Amino acid sequence: MKTRKDLHPKILAFFIVSFLASQYSFALPEAYQNRNISDETAPVALPAIIPQDSWSLPDAAANNEDILKEQALPDIQGNIPENLPILKTEKNVSRRNSQDNPPTQTAAQKTPIAEGAQASSPRRSLKKLSKKTVASLSKFSNSLKESNALGALSHFIDGAKGYPVADIGEGERFAREIEEAPKEINKKGVAASITVFGSARLMPQQKAQADHKKALALARLNPNDKNVQEALKLARQNLQMSKYYEEAYRFGQIVAHESGGKIAVATGGGPGIMEAANRGAFEAGGASIGHTIRLPHEESSNPYITKGLNFLYDNFAPRKINLRRGAVALAFFPGGFGTMDELFETLTLIQTGKIPRVPIVLVGKKYWKQILNFQSFSKMGVISSKDLSLFKIVDTAQEAWAALTAEEKAAQ
């Protein structure tokens, strides 16, 4: 008759295996499922949580081919927590190779279950699993489940899903968005354009002044309200940046006047700097083009776009192509990530000879010198000093027009 002491390791093993199975929903090894719990000689082993190439197994488990099958995922580096009872050994081969050729251990390579103890049967090793160890296993398994990065990486490595391939319909939509805008612009008799980039957040100076006045009055009535004080700070910042809206508006006017209406002003069609440039050209009687992207958090196109020259895009890539297509010059006003994306992509395409060089101006010396230290690119050797000549930094709309026309004349 079996004593309580004899059954204790097997009962503990059963609960640990059940716990891990519930966490990962894996199928238990057939050897374990068919095992008679009263059989003294059958090995008891936990399902592997870590690939076998990164840790060592107890004697009996190491010789059991069914137990060697990997049942769950490693952590993102393929390591196990330091406080697990099974100590780490040197990694041998890649994960995939370890699956094809499970590593074997010599007597010298086998790692003891705990310091000062000798590797023996799994039943003896299970006695080492204290409440603290079980809690550690639970915490480790929960961390794996909550790790989206791990899930995505494992999903990719395991090849459970094929690599996403664009369907024919998607390619047709891209092609249509690239082709339609230039055709319509040609129909309107537009021969060339100057594209203006910049932040969608900037507002006309008149509105910024009104907002600042209201925020200031409210802050005086609520000097201890942090939210009110933050609103005043934002209103003051918007007022300072509104000068660039006015410069973009003047630049649109200048392009329309100086070109005699032959050069259109093109923008991303949105608010802020884009609206300002479109508005300047529109009110001056020039052609105003909008390449508008559909975004959930932005309003529709600004109202200062010539009828028939407003194009709506579902994809950024065709829009970016058409913003550069037909442009005889590019003007970049202060902006955020989108503006930086357009600027650096354009500079890269010109630098690598993928598109013809055109005059480029960055408007707002204080802004650009504060945001980007262009000289450091050259000093650190990541670009050539000649690359700094791909653009000019100016302060005003009039200076921008003068710089663009001077470079165009020099090129001729």
The reply to whether 154 and 270 lie within a common domain is no
Q: Is residue 309 within 8 Å of 315, Cβ to Cβ? A: no
Lowest mean pLDDT among 106-115, 171-180, 325-334: 106-115
Lowest mean pLDDT among 20-29, 118-127, 191-200, 278-287: 118-127
Percent helix, strand and coil across the chain, each to the nearest 5:
50, 10, 40
The reply to whether 177 and 91 lie within a common domain is no
Q: Tell me whether residue 221 is in a domain.
A: no
Q: Tell me whether residue 55 is in a domain.
A: yes
Q: Which domain holds residue 265?
A: 171-205+241-411
- For residue 392, give every residue at least 6 positions away whose Cβ sits within 8 Å of its Cβ, in sequence order, or none: 359, 360, 361, 362, 403, 407
Rounded to an integer, the average pLDDT of 146-150 is 55
Predicted pLDDT of residue 101: 52
The reply to whether 281 and 348 lie within a common domain is yes
The CATH number given to whatever domain includes residue 255 is 3.40.50.450
Q: Quick check: helix, strand or coil at residue 195?
A: strand
Q: What is the CA radius of gyration of the chain?
A: 34
Q: Quick check: helix, strand or coil at residue 105?
A: coil
Lowest mean pLDDT among 59-63, 138-142, 218-222: 59-63
Distance CA 306, CA 256 (A): 13
Looking at 158, 183, 215, which one is the last position of a domain? Answer: 158
Looking at 127, 158, 189, which one is the last position of a domain? Answer: 158
The reply to whether 123 and 196 lie within a common domain is no
Q: Is residue 125 within 8 Å of 85, Cβ to Cβ? A: yes
Rounded to an integer, the average pLDDT of 92-107 is 47
**pTM for this prediction:** 0.63
pLDDT surpasses 60 at 333: yes
Bridge partners of 263? 192
Say which residue, 40 or 223, is predicted with more confidence. 223
The reply to whether 338 and 190 lie within a common domain is yes
pLDDT surpasses 80 at 60: no
Q: Tell me whether residue 368 is in a domain.
A: yes
pLDDT surpasses 90 at 356: yes
Predicted pLDDT of residue 122: 44
Task: Please give the share of the chain, as a percent, with pLDDT higher than 70.
Answer: 58
Q: Tell me whether residue 276 is in a domain.
A: yes
The reply to whether 143 and 180 lie within a common domain is no
Q: What is the token pair recorded at 187?
A: 């129909």
Q: What is the token pair recorded at 39?
A: 């059989």
Rounded to an integer, the average pLDDT of 351-367 is 96
The reply to whether 175 and 314 lie within a common domain is yes
Say which residue, 89 or 298, is predicted with more confidence. 298
Distance CA 343, CA 350 (A): 11
Amino acid at 375: Q
Predicted pLDDT of residue 7: 53
Q: Tell me whether residue 269 is in a domain.
A: yes
Q: Tell me whether residue 216 is in a domain.
A: no
pLDDT surpasses 70 at 56: no
How many CB atoms are closer than 10 A to CB 102?
A: 15
The reply to whether 176 and 59 lie within a common domain is no
Say which residue, 190 or 111, is predicted with more confidence. 190
The reply to whether 177 and 105 lie within a common domain is no
Q: What is the mean pLDDT of the chain?
A: 76
pLDDT surpasses 70 at 153: no
DSSP β-ladder status, 392-394 and 288-293: unpaired
Rounded to an integer, the average pLDDT of 122-144 is 58
The reply to whether 110 and 180 lie within a common domain is no
Q: Is residue 248 within 8 Å of 364, Cβ to Cβ? A: no
First to last CA, the chain: 104
How many CB atoms are closer than 10 A to CB 55?
A: 20
The reply to whether 143 and 175 lie within a common domain is no
Q: What is the token pair recorded at 99?
A: 């699956």
Q: How many domains does the chain have?
A: 2
Rounded to an integer, the average pLDDT of 90-110 is 46
Q: Kindly report the length of the chain.
A: 412
Q: Tell me whether residue 236 is in a domain.
A: no
Q: Tell me whether residue 163 is in a domain.
A: no
The reply to whether 101 and 192 lie within a common domain is no
Which conformational region is residue 319 in: left (phi greater than 0), alpha (psi within -120 to 50 degrees), or beta?
alpha
Helix (H) or strand (E) holding 291: strand 288-293
Categorize the per-residue pLDDT at 157 as very low, low, confident or very high, splitting at 50, 70 and 90: low
